[in-house]
Amino acid sequence: MDSSMRMEQLLQTIRAFDGVVELAPAEGSGFPEIAWGDHFFYFAPHGQVPDRVQPYATIVTKDYPDDTLCGLDPAGRWRVNIHVGKAKLTELTGEDFGDTAAHDFSEADVILPHPVYAALGWIAVVNPGDRTAPAVVALLGDAHDNAPRRASRRGAPDAPGNATG
């Protein structure tokens, strides 16, 4: 029996958050082919992907040219990436920003520093399962709740307290 959380289950959970906007590039969307099939999540109560704001979570379904350590190209492999901040990353992984040589980033169902963006406070989980699914859902909720503050610090027009024109 496959104990990994299905990607669709996680997508449904995230889509239920208040004020979430999902960017899901597909063929014909105008986005680069490399992004097709992936999902990017933003806090955007106005319903539009905000300018000048990074997503607070992503789900990727393949290796990217600069991000191959997780081995996502085989069918059925995917990774959720969550911005948790540097302090939480250290709490979760026991280290500051990750030494890529110190981890098997292809291991499933383990919370690890993101292989590329750990220094920016991102974690990654390949195929969340029994060990990590509850924590992943909780961390996604926290990231969603923290996203308005992050956007506000960056002066995003969609952020609470900023003029939206």
Would you call 68 exposed, middle or buried from its count of C-beta atoms within 10 A (0-12, 13-18, 19+)?
middle
Measured in whole angstroms, the distance separating CA 25 from the mean position of its chain's CA atoms is 15
What global pTM score does this model have?
0.88
Instruction: Give the pLDDT of residue 162.
Output: 46
Taking domain 7-153, whether its CATH number is 3.40.47.10 is answered by no
Residue-level length of the chain: 165
Structure tokens at 29: 């969307």
What tens-digit pLDDT sequence spans the chain (165 residues)? 355 679 999 999 999 999 999 999 999 999 999 999 999 999 999 999 998 899 999 999 999 999 999 999 999 999 999 999 999 999 999 886 656 678 899 999 999 999 999 999 999 999 999 999 999 999 999 999 999 887 666 555 555 544 433
CA distances 14 to 65, 81, 126, 138, Å, are 27, 13, 17, 11
Instruction: Give the pLDDT of residue 2.
Output: 53
Would you call 118 exposed, middle or buried from its count of C-beta atoms within 10 A (0-12, 13-18, 19+)?
buried
Query: Which residue ranges make up each domain of the chain?
Result: 7-153
CA distances 19 to 14, 38, 68, 134, 154, Å, are 10, 20, 32, 22, 18
